[in-house]
C-alpha cells in the first residue's frame, strides 16, 4: 500500500511532507514517513516517526513533535541518537539552518500552547 500524504508544512525555505504508512508499532502508535527539505535540498527521508496517541496524525501537534526531533543537534541528546546520520545530515544539524528550524518549531509550539488554552 502506498503511503498517503497527510500533511504539508512550509516556512522560511523549509518544507516538511508527512505521510501515513498505514502501520502501527507494538504500542499502537501510528508510524509516519516524512521528507524534510531545506531550500529544496533533501535533508531527511524516513519512515520512522511514531506519533503520540495524544495527537491526530495529520495535526500541527504531530508536525511540531516531528520537527522537534528533526532539529536536534549534538549536545541536545545522547550521542548515539546521531549514529545513523549521514555526513551531510550531521553537517546540516550543526548548521545555523538547523538552529533556525528549531526556533521556528519553538514558535509553532508556543502558538499551539496559546491556541489550546
Largest CA distance in the chain: 41
Q: Residue 93 and residue 88: Cα distance in Å, rounded?
A: 9
Q: Residue 106 and residue 33: Cα distance in Å, rounded?
A: 22
Ranges of the chain with pLDDT below 70: 1, 117
Q: Residue 78 and residue 27: Cα distance in Å, rounded?
A: 23
pTM of the model: 0.93
For the segment 68-85, what is each residue's pLDDT rounded down to a tens digit?
A: 999 999 999 999 999 999
Question: Please, are residues 21 and 32 in contact by the beta-carbon 8 Å criterion?
Answer: yes
Amino acid at each position: 500500500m502506498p503511503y498517503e500524504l497527510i500533511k504539508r508544512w512550509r516556512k522560511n525555505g523549509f518544507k516538511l511532507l508527512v505521510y501515513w504508512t498505514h502501520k502501527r508499532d507494538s504500542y499502537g502508535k501510528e508510524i509516519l514517513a516524512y521528507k524534510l527539505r531545506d531550500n529544496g535540498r533533501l535533508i531527511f527521508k524516513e519512515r520512522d516517526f511514531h506519533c503520540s496517541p495524544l495527537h491526530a496524525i495529520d495535526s500541527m501537534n504531530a508536525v511540531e513533535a516531528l520537527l522537534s526531533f528533526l532539529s536536534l543537534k549534538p549536545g541536545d541528546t545522547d550521542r548515539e541518537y546521531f549514529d545513523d546520520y549521514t555526513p551531510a545530515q550531521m553537517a546540516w544539524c550543526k548548521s545555523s539552518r538547523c538552529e533556525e528550524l528549531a526556533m521556528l518549531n519553538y514558535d509553532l509550539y508556543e502558538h499551539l500552547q496559546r491556541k489550546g488554552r
